[in-house]
């Protein structure tokens, strides 16, 4: 959520940012509601002062025997009391209206974020590895002979519907191995704290990280009103919801492996083949809660954590900075990491790492106490995939594919597979 003081003090900055983010809300729209709210509060305070002054005079009028003045003052006290109640309710309604509007506004991009409309305007900042030259036509993951026995889309559809899959045997084990490898790397090498959290959250938590109110259609809600998390960013970030931390507790770096659920609203017809875009998937998430002065550097650190996973798996990738038109709702700057998929002959997103500044912290009321004293300040939050497990499985299978339908698996995974190194054309590990 944006700071109303920033909009008051620098409306031109706000308007330029909203134009970049393709929002049709102007500073005038926000400040008109804010001005009305402040006017109602001022009127209520003035009426309260008049009520108090009249109340003091009532007793004196009664004591002097001036019955007419007594009745006038008593009526005035009642009138002002009613006015105070009415104005406070009107101010409360304006406050709710302002809060609703602020909750729906996207974050302000950093000045160094490239301007643009969509993914075509994103800017590459890093590239690692060379896509392999296959002496045969590369297949997509679901076409590989060794994968077909362990990746059942028909059974997934039977059990749950479109965009679900059942993994079994060797493919399921590779999928699990990838998640374990990612977690161990983030904990042992990157210093993140492993965390296990629920996949069902209450509505306040979804508001806290910005999934609500604007993006409710992208997630699943139960009949009891709980929400299924689209990513454990929701739970990990909300661990500081309503908290005031000590400055020496920052940065707080967390990681979790969780099931994630997305309705994929608006993606009809996109990536319908294979398991690239599913309603249920697994992800290893990274979240950092930082001091405001550390958050920009933390973005680069988290990006490297995600990139290093791909490098350890020998998967070619590129990293891009998202332009203003392609960046997520709560982000100030986002680095997307795209892994090379030979079956498609293109790079596809496998991680998105974002710095949100105090945008989520304001929604969650998450602060820290400066070590030198002074008023508590809002923390800064960051989140990123480290990585999407299913998409990493796709990349491992496609990049390691052999002409006979087998797959050579990355050395980094061998310890997690009991020393086995190959997925055979028959769907077994050897």
pLDDT attached to residue 73: 86
Point out the catalytic residue in the list 352, 354, 385, 406.
352
pLDDT attached to residue 402: 98
CA 134 – CA 132 distance, rounded (Å): 6
Quick: pLDDT tens for 381-397: 999 999 999 999 999 99
pLDDT attached to residue 214: 86
Quick: pLDDT tens for 195-207: 999 999 999 999 9
Q: Does position 269 have pLDDT exceeding 80, yes or no? A: no
Instruction: Tell me how far CA of residue 173 lies from CA of 52, 169, 274, 388, in angstroms.
Output: 74, 6, 18, 16
Judge whether 23 counts as a catalytic residue: no
Grade residue 241 by pLDDT with cuts at 50, 70 and 90. Answer: very high
Task: Determine whether 224 is exposed, middle or buried from the number of CB atoms within 10 Å of its CB (0-12, 13-18, 19+).
Answer: exposed
Burial string for 157-186 (b: 16+ CB within 10 Å, else e) reads eeeeeebbbbbeebbebbbbbbbebbbebb
Phi–psi pair at 47, nearest 5 degrees: -65, -35
For the chain, give the mean pLDDT. Answer: 95
Percentage of residues of the chain with pLDDT beyond 70: 99
Report the run of H or E that residue 246 belongs to, with start and end. strand 244-246
Q: Does position 270 have pLDDT exceeding 80, yes or no? A: no
If DSSP codes are grouped into helix, strand and coil, which group holds residue 385? strand
Q: Does position 273 have pLDDT exceeding 90, yes or no? A: no
Judge whether 262 counts as a catalytic residue: yes
Judge whether 349 counts as a catalytic residue: yes
Point out the catalytic residue in the list 163, 262, 301, 362.
262
Comparing C-alpha atoms, which of 46, 143, 135 is closest to residue 88?
A: 46
Point out the catalytic residue in the list 140, 391, 398, 406.
391
Judge whether 352 counts as a catalytic residue: yes
pLDDT attached to residue 117: 94
Point out the catalytic residue in the list 43, 79, 203, 349.
349
Mean pLDDT, rounded, for 53-77: 84
Phi–psi pair at 32, nearest 5 degrees: -65, -45
Comparing C-alpha atoms, which of 208, 210, 235, 231 is closest to residue 220?
A: 231
Point out the catalytic residue in the list 74, 127, 176, 277.
277
Q: Does position 252 have pLDDT exceeding 90, yes or no? A: yes
CA 244 – CA 379 distance, rounded (Å): 9
Grade residue 63 by pLDDT with cuts at 50, 70 and 90. Answer: confident
CA 28 – CA 25 distance, rounded (Å): 8
């Amino acid at each position: 959520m944006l700071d109303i003081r920033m909009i008051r003090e620098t409306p031109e900055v706000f308007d330029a940012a909203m134009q970049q983010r393709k929002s049709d809300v102007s500073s005038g729209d926000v400040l008109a509601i804010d001005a009305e709210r402040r006017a109602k509060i001022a009127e209520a305070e003035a009426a309260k002062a008049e009520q108090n002054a009249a109340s003091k005079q009532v007793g004196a009028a009664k004591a002097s025997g001036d019955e007419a003045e007594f009745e006038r003052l008593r009526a005035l006290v009642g009138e002002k009391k009613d006015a105070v109640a009415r104005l406070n309710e009107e101010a409360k309604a304006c406050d709710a209206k302002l809060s609703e509007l602020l909750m729906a506004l996207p974050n302000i991009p950093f000045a160094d974020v490239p301007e643009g409309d969509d993914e075509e305007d994103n800017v590459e900042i890093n590239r690692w590895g060379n896509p392999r030259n296959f002496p045969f036509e590369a297949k997509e993951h679901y076409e590989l002979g060794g994968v077909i026995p362990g990746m059942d889309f028909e059974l997934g559809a039977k059990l749950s519907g479109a965009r679900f899959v059942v993994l079994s045997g060797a493919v399921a084990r590779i999928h699990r191995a990838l998640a374990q490898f990612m977690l161990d790397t983030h904990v042992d090498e990157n210093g993140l704290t492993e965390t296990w959290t629920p996949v069902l959250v209450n509505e306040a938590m979804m508001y806290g990280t910005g999934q609500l109110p604007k993006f409710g259609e992208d997630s699943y809600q139960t009949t009891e009103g709980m929400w299924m998390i689209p990513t454990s960013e929701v739970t990990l970030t909300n661990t500081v919801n309503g908290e005031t931390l000590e400055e020496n507790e920052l940065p707080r770096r967390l990681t979790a492996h969780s099931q994630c659920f997305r309705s994929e609203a608006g993606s009809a017809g996109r990536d319908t083949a294979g398991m690239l875009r599913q309603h249920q998937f697994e992800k290893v998430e990274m979240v950092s809660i930082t001091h405001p002065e550390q958050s920009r550097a933390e973005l680069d650190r988290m990006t490297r954590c995600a990139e290093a996973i791909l490098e350890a798996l020998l998967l070619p990738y590129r990293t891009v900075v998202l332009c203003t038109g392609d960046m997520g709702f709560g982000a100030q700057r986002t680095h997307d990491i795209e892994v090379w998929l030979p079956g498609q002959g293109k790079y596809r997103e496998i991680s998105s790492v974002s710095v949100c500044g105090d945008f989520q912290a304001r929604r969650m009321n998450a602060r820290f106490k400066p070590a030198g004293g002074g008023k508590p300040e809002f923390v800064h939050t960051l989140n990123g995939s480290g990585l999407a497990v299913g998409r990493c499985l796709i990349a491992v299978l496609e990049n390691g594919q052999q002409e006979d339908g087998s797959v050579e698996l990355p050395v980094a995974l061998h310890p997690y597979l009991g020393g086995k190194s190959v997925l055979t054309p028959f769907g077994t590990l050897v």
